[in-house]
Amino acid sequence: MVKIIIIGSGIGGSGIGALIAKETSHEITLFEQNELLGGRCASYKKKDDQGRTWIFDIGCHIFSTCDKGPLGNILDRVGKSLQWSYTQNPGPRVVVMGMDLSRTTRSKKRRKRVEQKSAKPNFNEMMKNMTLEDTKKIDNISLTDFLDEFFGKGKAAVKKMMYGMQAGVMFGVAPHACSAGEFVRCFGDNAKQMSMGYPHGGTGAIPEAYCQVIEENQGKIIKGQEGRVEKIIVENGAVKGVITGPNKTFHEADIVIANSDIKTTVLRLVGESNFSSEYVKYVKDLQWGGQVCSLKVGVDKVITDQKMLTYVPTFSDDDMKKRFTSLVDEGFEVDSENMTVPEKTVLLVGF
């Protein structure tokens, strides 16, 4: 029997764990350094002073393709289902710099007239129709340049702002630092599927369902202090296992799958000496994404029937650049290792 160790219970680690658990008879052990499962997609429950239970999401707040994308695909394959709420009917309502870009505010007739008048296909249609090969050709072009090329330099400022903001929300980077190819691959898929939304039970419902599958298929999940992997042991180019927890316990493995970030995995857990200098340089040169300050507020009465409201105030191009700054640009050293321990993790108030 093949022994597989997975480091991390984020959607990446728990998702791959669920697939292996369901589709093979390999022995799986998943290690998670936090008490909470799910990484940046985790949720937890808390009671308020009136005894009502609220679900708080740690990071994610919305999913681009829900059940029709990769997350739903894994759920299907492992035989789990979740209930999803799409951001439609009515909605989404999007007001950017004073302009209402909502689908709901335009009649079908008017949309058709606008489309017929325009000689160019609309940007969403273009993204939907681009082949994978074509998206790869624009991998090294920035989203800013790509938008300028499509809409014209100095034109369609609001639309460019809207797509630029989506890069910020989804990838955590400014449009000038976002690969146009990656953007089109992700958003083309979103535009095709039209299934953006949120799972009932909080974002954590997804990794929790994956972890359930691991345990239902005799896999083990070890979390908290004991679940913290200190080192991945590699000898003569082959993985031997991992060392975990305060007592530095050795766990043997034939395969180790690391869901910790690439810098931590390569530079700390495995160690530079096990990789080519070129690859180590590539990893060291990778930069952390931007920073977002976000507050989620739970309300206990219905205040709108819209499933998603987006409002962006008016600001200039220069202002936008300033709004997207990276931690590294500001001289911060990002210590990913310590950012994930419970007392230092950023918590967002959510519902």
Ligand X SMILES: Cc1cc2nc3c(=O)[nH]c(=O)nc-3n(C[C@H](O)[C@H](O)[C@H](O)COP(=O)(O)OP(=O)(O)OC[C@H]3O[C@@H](n4cnc5c(N)ncnc54)[C@H](O)[C@@H]3O)c2cc1C
Contact footprint for ligand X (CB under 6 A): 7-13, 31-34, 39-41, 59-63, 227-229, 259-260, 264, 292, 294, 340
* Residue 232 CB, nearest approach to ligand X (Å): 9
* Residue 8 CB, nearest approach to ligand X (Å): 2
- Report the candidate in 41, 34, 36 with the shortest Cα–Cα distance to residue 198: 41
Distance CA 192, CA 302 (A): 30
Q: Which is nearer to ligand X, 23 or 35 (CB)?
A: 35
* Residue 284 CB, nearest approach to ligand X (Å): 18
Q: Which is nearer to ligand X, 29 or 142 (CB)?
A: 29
Q: What angle do CA 118, 181, 74 make, to 5 degrees?
A: 110
Q: Which is nearer to ligand X, 157 or 170 (CB)?
A: 170
How many of the other CB atoms lie within 10 Å of CB of 208?
21
Q: Which is nearer to ligand X, 150 or 270 (CB)?
A: 270
Q: Which is nearer to ligand X, 260 or 310 (CB)?
A: 260
The secondary structure of 238-285 as a DSSP string is EEEEEEETTTTEEEE-SEEEE-S-HHIIIIIIIIGGGS-HHHHHHHHH
- Report the candidate in 176, 206, 160 with the shortest Cα–Cα distance to residue 66: 206
* Residue 169 CB, nearest approach to ligand X (Å): 7
Q: Which is nearer to ligand X, 29 or 264 (CB)?
A: 264
Coil, helix or strand at residue 311: strand
Which ranges in 37-122 belong to alpha helices (H)? 70-78, 108-117
* Residue 167 CB, nearest approach to ligand X (Å): 13
* Residue 69 CB, nearest approach to ligand X (Å): 9
Distance CA 293, CA 68 (A): 29
